[in-house]
Chain A
Amino acid sequence: MNWSSFSDFLAMGGYAFFVWMSYGVTALLVVAEVAWVVKQRRRSLARAQVQRSIREWSST
C-alpha cells in the first residue's frame, strides 16, 4: 500500500489533474462504448423483427 489516506490517493502527489483527466476520460469513453454497443444490439434486433414481420405479412 503506497498511500497513507484516501485524500492522499486523490491528490496523486500533486499530479491529480493530469492523472484523473487521463483515467476519467478513459473510463468515460469505455462506458460510452459499452452503452453504444448495447443500444446497437437493441436496434439491430428491432429492425430484424420488422423485416421478419414484413416477410410473414407478405407471404400470407
Chain B
Amino acid sequence: MAIHWFKYAAPASFYGLAGRMIPWFTGAAVVTTLVGLYIGMVLAPTDFQQGDSYRIIYIHVPAAWMGMFTYLVMAGWAAAGVVFNTRLSGMMVQALAPTGALFTFVALWTGAFWGRPTWGTYWVWDARLTSTLILFFLYIGYMALRASIDDPRRADRAGAVLTLVGVVNIPIIYFSVQWWNTLHQGASVRPGSSSMATVMLTGMLVMAFAAWMYTIAISLARVRSIIIEREQHSAWVGELLVAEGHGRPSGTSEALPGSNEQGAR
C-alpha cells in the first residue's frame, strides 16, 4: 500500500488537492458571473455608437482572452511534461483542451454575431479572425491526436509536441491587429490606458475573472476523472473508492455479478 502511494504520489495527491479547491473556484465563478452580468447587462449604459449590440463584449473579450490564455497554460504543462516526464502534466493538458476549445469557439461565435450588426458581415478572412480560427483547430487537432493514440503516455508526448509547436500562433493572434490592416479593431484595453467607460470596463474585467474561475474549476473537475481513468489499475484508486463511499470495502467480494464463468482471469 505504502509503496503504491509513493509510486503514484503526484496524481494521487493532486486528486485530493483538486477536490478541495473545486468548491471555492466554482463558488467564485458563479458569484463573479452574476456580478459581471449585472454590471454589464443591467447597470452599464447603451453605447452611443453601437447601441446595445456592444453588450456582446462581456462574453466576447473574456472568451477570446481565455481561449488564448488557456493555450499558454496548456503549453506550459506540455513543456513541463517534456522536460520532467511527469504524468500529471499530460493529464492537465488533456483536461484544459476542451475548455480552451469552448472559449475559442465562443469568441468566434459571439464575434460573428457582433460583426453582423457592426461590420455588416458574420465572417471575414481577416488576420485576427483567421488566426483565432486556427487556434480553435489546434485545440480540435490536439484532442483528435490524443483520441487516435491508445497509449496515454505516448498520447501525452505527441500532444505536447503539437501543443508546443502551435504556441507560435498565440503572439500572431495577439499582434495581428497591429501587424496587418484588419477589420477587427485594435486593443481597447491596454495596461495603463483603456478607451472604455469605467462601468463597461469593470463589467468586462469581472466577466474575464469569472471565465478564469470557471476554467480552473471545470479543468480541475475534469482532471480528477482523467486521473481516475488513467490510474484505475492502481491500488490507491481502489482505496479511494472505498474512502469516498463509491465501492464496497475489501473482503465483501461477491464483486462483478455473473463474472464467475467468463471472468477476467
Chain A residues within CB distance 8 Å of chain B:
1-3, 9, 12-15, 18-19, 21-23, 25-26, 29-30, 33-34, 37, 40-41, 43-45, 47-58, 60
Contacts and interface: CB of A to CB of B under 8 A. Distances in A.
A14 B51 contact: yes
A57 to B, nearest CB: 5
Contacts of B56: 18-19, 22-23
B46 interface: yes
Interface residues of B, number: 49
A15 B118 CA distance: 11
9 contacts: A13-B52, A14-B51, A30-B102, A37-B221, A44-B228, A53-B255, A56-B253, A57-B256, A57-B264
B237 to A, nearest CB: 5
Contacts of B256: 50, 53-54, 57
Q: Is the interface of A mostly helix, strand, loop or mixed?
A: helix
A1 B199 CA distance: 12
A29 B255 contact: no
B241 A48 contact: yes
Contacts, number: 129
Interface stretch (B37-45, B79-87, B126-134): B37-45
Given A22-B113, A37-B218, A57-B259, A52 B53 contact: no
A49 B211 CA distance: 34
Interface in B174-220: 214, 218
Contacts of A19: 52-53, 55-56, 113
